[in-house]
């Protein structure tokens, strides 16, 4: 993956969002199509890459890799590599990500109500 230029519009926009309100910061950390799905699937405990991929139909290996790297960089996911042959890697929620579980439950209830109203 190519590095972004420090003064690129994309980089400046991201910095503006991150410097904004706390809510904006939080949404940037878990926003997007896949991050919340990945985090929700990890709430039951450790999973391997292939297990996560099976639980999220439609996500490519590349996108899952990129999203897991971002989540790890942001302190939401812990990646554990075992010195085995073949190599084994587990992913799990960090303590700070586990604090979001009640928020996901509330969003899930809201989504169910909203979806029912829109039918």
Domain ranges of the chain: 32-118
Q: In what order do the strands lie in the sheet with 77-82?
A: 47-48, 88-93, 77-82
Answer for the pair 43, 101: CB distance below 8 angstroms, yes or no. yes
* 9 against 93, higher pLDDT: 93
Those residues with Cβ within 8 angstroms of residue 36's Cβ, 6 or more apart along the chain or in another chain: 30, 104
Q: Which residues are bridge partners to 92 per DSSP?
A: 78
Distance of alpha carbon 69 from alpha carbon 35, whole angstroms:
11
pTM, two decimals, is 0.81
Q: At residue 100, does pLDDT exceed 60?
A: yes
What is the per-residue pLDDT for 28?
80
Q: Structurally, what CATH architecture does the domain formed by 32-118 represent?
A: Orthogonal Bundle (1.10)
**For residue range 73-86, what is the model confidence (pLDDT) as tens digits?**
999 999 999 998 88
What is the per-residue pLDDT for 58?
93
Those residues with Cβ within 8 angstroms of residue 67's Cβ, 6 or more apart along the chain or in another chain: 32, 34, 35, 38, 59
């Amino acid at each position: 993956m190519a590095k972004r230029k420090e003064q690129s519009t994309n980089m400046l926009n991201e910095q503006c969002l991150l410097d904004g309100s706390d809510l904006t910061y939080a949404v940037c950390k878990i926003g997007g199509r896949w991050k919340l799905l990945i985090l929700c699937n990890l709430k039951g405990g450790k999973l391997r890459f292939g297990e996560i991929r099976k639980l999220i139909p439609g996500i490519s290996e590349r996108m899952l890799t990129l999203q897991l790297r971002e989540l790890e960089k942001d302190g939401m996911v812990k990646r554990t590599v075992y010195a085995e042959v073949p190599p084994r890697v587990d992913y799990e929620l960090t303590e700070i990500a586990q604090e979001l579980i009640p928020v996901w439950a509330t969003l899930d209830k809201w989504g169910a109500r909203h979806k029912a109203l829109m039918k």
